[in-house]
């Protein structure tokens, strides 16, 4: 991890769950971290959980990844203040209940804008910064097992996850597209997709958490995976990591 000391990491959806855990762990590992979130006050509050001598290494910036202008402004601020981006963790995500055949199309569009277009837009900014500075950076996509197998919801009930799996399947394809593009454009930027099973976050309903019992991951389990991938030698790329709790039945 020594080569990442004092480098700049950007984490989207840093206000809670995997994003908050990742932002915290990256700061503790010696990086300057920018936490992007709509609920920017929560990222500010996260600073209070850090050691007193580390608080200054977490910067909170308000950003809605579904809004092009919001993303442009956020990354403009990052480049102005820090000079560039070395690590990007595309974590912001959305899931809303409903059936794809009947639900409000606007809800579907928002999910796709968050889970797919948000990743694409943020990655373009990070890639531009890395390539212009000849920085062999690292880009992460927080995917899901739903991007490898369609997840419908609770067994025996009408599916409620609608376009969520489709959005994550898109990220699985996009990860491979980026890998080929990064090579073709003569960079050594790494791309890693992290695909967790059920994680104890605000996105997961209490009923599902109770059904899962001990078969659920913590946000720091996913952050630990990111730290591992970051720590690999320059010639090693963890392309896709699937993480399940022991005892998981799916």
Query: In the β-sheet with 138-142, what is the strand arrangement from edge to edge?
Result: 58-62, 32-37, 8-12, 87-90, 138-142, 190-196, 240-243
Angstrom distances, CA of residue 101 to CA of 98, 111, 153: 9, 15, 15
User: Rounded to 5, what percent of the chain is helix, strand, coil?
Assistant: 45, 15, 40
Q: Which of 57, 164, 169, 178 is catalytic?
A: 164
Q: Which residues pair with 138 in a beta bridge?
A: 87, 190
> Quick check: is 228 catalytic?
no
Closest CA relative to residue 79, chosen from 140, 121, 130, 118: 130
Cβ atoms 234, 30 nearer than 8 A: no
Q: Could you list the active site residues?
A: 164
């Amino acid at each position: 991890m020594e080569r990442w000391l004092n480098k700049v990491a950007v984490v989207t959806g840093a206000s809670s769950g995997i994003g908050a855990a990742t932002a915290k762990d990256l700061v503790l590992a010696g990086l300057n971290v920018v936490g992007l979130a709509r609920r920017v006050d929560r990222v500010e509050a996260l600073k209070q959980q850090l050691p007193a001598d580390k608080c200054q290494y977490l910067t909170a910036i308000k950003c809605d990844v579904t809004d092009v202008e919001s993303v442009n402004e956020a990354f403009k601020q990052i480049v102005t203040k820090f000079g560039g981006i070395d690590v990007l963790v595309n974590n912001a995500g959305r899931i809303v209940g409903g059936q794809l055949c009947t639900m409000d199309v606007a809800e579907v569009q928002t999910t796709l804008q968050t889970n797919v277009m948000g990743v694409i837009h943020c990655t373009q900014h990070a890639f531009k910064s890395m390539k212009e500075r000849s920085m062999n950076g690292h880009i992460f996509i927080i995917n899901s097992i739903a991007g490898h197998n369609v997840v419908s919801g609770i067994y025996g009930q009408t599916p409620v996850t609608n376009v969520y799996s489709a959005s994550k399947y898109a990220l699985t394809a996009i990860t491979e597209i980026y890998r080929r593009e990064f090579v073709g454009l003569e960079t050594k930027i790494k791309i890693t997709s992290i695909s967790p099973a059920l994680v104890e976050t605000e996105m997961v309903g209490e009923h599902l958490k109770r059904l899962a019992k001990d078969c659920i991951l913590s946000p720091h389990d996913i952050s630990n995976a990111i730290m591992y991938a970051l720590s690999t030698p320059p010639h090693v790329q963890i392309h896709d990591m699937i993480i399940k709790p022991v005892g998981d039945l799916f």
